[in-house]
Amino acid sequence: MDCSICSSMPFILRPPRNTICGACYEGARALITFVNKLESDKPTTNPPLNSPPSPCKPLANVTKWMNHMKETEEELNKKISFLSGFVMAFREQLHTDIFLRPGNNGPPIPAHRALLAAKSEIFKNILESDECKAAASDTIALPELNQEELESLLEFLYSGTLPADKAQKHVYPLFVAADKYEIPYLQEFCERHMLASLSSSNALDILEISDLCSNKTLKETALNFIVRNVDDVVFSAKYEAFAPKNPHLCVQITRAFLIDSKNRSRVSNSGV
């Protein structure tokens, strides 16, 4: 059967030629479901004047929705560009009024009190304390971060993102810092990066850091991954170094593996 959508030569579109193949049919259904969900998620009170029409003809509205989303993306890009002025202020050290000192005796890094207080409730409390109300030369020490890690933390606070190489290199200390200083967006950023890069080589690191920061979702994902790839993880040199430092996590890995094995065996026996 020739498909009137994906066929290379759909010249005649009349019954019974105007039929579609299974792939195009499923794609059309997925598009209709997606558009209907977008429509149902919109607020029903006081809709914006430029909002897309209701999906009485869902496929006909796909293009309108795509144009609407493209306009939204362009508007967000303009907003990001507008707000990026603070990044330039940080890079050029314009009117900075506080210093952050890393833990490796590196030189202090100038920053802005207002931004630190806006991005972190902990920084806000520190800056409102009596010790930090005086001169502009006040310094906050972050002993858990070295020079590069602190620079990456500040870059994220000012810009809301990090280059891939810096995220890869500093994701663990930044995740700990985000937990300590209550920076939820940085926590989410680091969590997404760790989940996307989860592998046999870093699963133990992610399990350890998620346990340290009490991140249940990340910990369960890492633990399940280790159980599914137990041979690669447990018989590695990294596990030998990991075990003495984290005996409680080794117990959890063992228990999770045994539970998984029992479940697999039960399913296998029930299918016989």
* Interval 53-71: pLDDT, tens: 454 566 667 777 778 788 8
Q: What is the pLDDT of residue 134?
A: 44
Domains of the chain: 84-197 (3.30.710.10), 199-267 (1.25.40.420)
Q: What is the pLDDT of residue 100?
A: 94
Q: What is the pLDDT of residue 136?
A: 45
Q: What is the pLDDT of residue 232?
A: 95
Q: What is the pLDDT of residue 212?
A: 95
To the nearest whole number, what is the mean pLDDT of the chain?
A: 83
Between 87 and 42, residue with greater pLDDT: 87
For the chain, state the CA radius of gyration: 26
Between 50 and 228, residue with greater pLDDT: 228
Q: What is the pLDDT of residue 139?
A: 86
Q: How confident is the model at residue 268 (pLDDT cuts 50, 70, 90)?
A: confident
Average pLDDT over residues 77-94: 74
Q: What is the pLDDT of residue 189?
A: 96
Whole-angstrom distance, CA of residue 190 vs CA of residue 170:
9
Q: Is the pLDDT of residue 73 over 60?
A: yes
- Angle at the Cα of 82 (from 77 to 113), degrees rounded to 5? 125
Q: What is the pLDDT of residue 55?
A: 46
Assigned token pair, 77: 């890009």
The pLDDT tens digits of the residues spanning 189-199 come to 999 999 999 99
Assigned token pair, 213: 């920061």
Q: Is the pLDDT of residue 37 over 60?
A: yes
Q: How confident is the model at residue 124 (pLDDT cuts 50, 70, 90)?
A: very high
On whether the pTM is more than 0.85, the answer is no
Q: Is the pLDDT of residue 101 over 80?
A: yes
The pLDDT tens digits of the residues spanning 208-252 come to 999 999 999 999 999 999 999 999 999 999 999 999 999 999 999
Helix spans in the chain (H): 22-41, 58-83, 85-91, 113-119, 121-128, 147-159, 164-180, 184-196, 203-212, 216-228, 230-234, 237-245, 247-271
Average pLDDT over residues 6-16: 58
Q: What is the pLDDT of residue 46?
A: 54
Q: Is the pLDDT of residue 82 over 60?
A: yes
Which residues lie across from 139 on neighbouring strands? 99
The pLDDT tens digits of the residues spanning 133-184 come to 545 458 899 999 999 999 999 999 998 889 999 999 999 999 999 999 999 9
